[in-house]
């Protein structure tokens, strides 16, 4: 069975060229490995960069976009599958159901919301897929410090914090997520990484 990676990222490029480069790198790595990319279905911003790179590298690419955003984000018409759904809730549900692992790249509040939702679902046992964060040029440093403070202040258990796999290298992060998915994502497997 093909390994399916759900990528969350911005519908904008951001100010640093490294963000787009990272989106292209993750898409190319997914394609190089013969895996499938699942993402938000847009052709613009980092979403478009990741999708185009995955397609160019031979990956099967599946997009899920809500009807209200289809025109705004201009749905990518070159995908293997583009699902147009009526709500954001159905979009996130369909993406999650089609994923074996999740990766967040730089993005705005939508990316953060998607990351936190699958992280919460994982914590609550709604799925056991691994979750990764690609920290490009320190984009997420402040967020990671805040999450460590949440642990220090007693609002987040260290085991829950450890569910988020963080790396700066796309290939290394994908390797780790694939290993965790193959092991069934058991808690004890996270402690050995």
* Helix, strand, coil in percent for the chain, rounding step 5: 50, 20, 30
Q: Do 58 and 33 contact (CB within 8 A), yes or no?
A: no
Distance from C-alpha of 168 to C-alpha of 143, rounded to nearest angstrom: 15
Asked if pLDDT for residue 143 goes beyond 50, the answer is yes
What's the whole-number mean pLDDT along residues 158-179?
A: 97
pLDDT of 73:
65
Give the confidence band of 184 by pLDDT, cuts at 50, 70, 90: confident
Q: What is the largest CA-CA distance in the chain?
A: 47
Q: Report the predicted TM-score, pTM, of the whole model to 2 decimal places.
A: 0.93
Q: What is the mean pLDDT of residues 40-52?
A: 96
Half-sphere exposure of 187 (CA within 13 A, CB side): 9
Contacts of 71 (CB under 8 A, 6+ apart): none
Q: How far apart are CA 30 and CA 20, in angstroms?
A: 15
- Whether 187 has a pLDDT exceeding 60, the answer reads no
How confident is residue 113, by pLDDT bands cut at 50, 70 and 90? very high
pLDDT of residue 190: 43
- Is the pLDDT at 103 greater than 90? The verdict is yes
Query: pLDDT per residue over 58-95, tens digit each?
Result: 999 999 999 988 777 678 889 999 999 999 999 999 99
Q: How far is residue 69's CA from residue 73's CA, in Å, rounded to a whole number?
A: 6
What's the rounded mean pLDDT across residues 106-124? 96
* pLDDT exceeds cutoff 70 at 193: no
Residue with tokens 């509040």: 109
Per-residue confidence at 1, pLDDT binned at 50, 70, 90?
A: confident
Q: What proportion of the chain, given as a percentage, has pLDDT over 70?
A: 94
- pLDDT, residue 185, reads 59
Q: What are the strands, taking DSSP E only, across 54-137?
A: 60-66, 81-85, 101-104, 131-134
Q: What is the DSSP letter of 162?
A: T
């Amino acid at each position: 069975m093909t390994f399916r990676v759900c990528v969350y990222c911005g519908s904008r490029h951001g100010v640093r060229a490294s963000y787009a480069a990272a989106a292209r790198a993750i898409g190319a790595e997914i394609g190089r490995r013969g895996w499938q990319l699942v993402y938000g279905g847009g052709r613009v911003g980092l979403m478009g960069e990741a999708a185009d790179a995955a397609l160019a590298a031979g990956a099967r690419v599946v997009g899920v976009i809500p009807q209200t955003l289809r025109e705004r984000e201009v749905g990518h018409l070159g995908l293997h599958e583009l699902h147009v759904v009526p709500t954001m809730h159905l979009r996130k549900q369909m993406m999650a159901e089609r994923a074996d692992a999740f990766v967040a790249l730089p993005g705005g509040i939508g990316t953060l919301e998607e990351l936190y939702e699958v992280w919460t679902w994982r914590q609550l046992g709604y799925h056991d897929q691994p979750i990764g964060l690609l920290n490009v040029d320190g984009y997420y440093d402040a967020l990671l410090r805040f999450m460590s403070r949440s642990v220090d202040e007693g609002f987040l258990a260290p085991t829950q914090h450890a569910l988020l796999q963080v790396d700066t290298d796309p290939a290394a992060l994908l390797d780790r997520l694939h290993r965790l998915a193959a092991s069934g994502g058991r808690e004890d497997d996270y402690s050995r990484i």
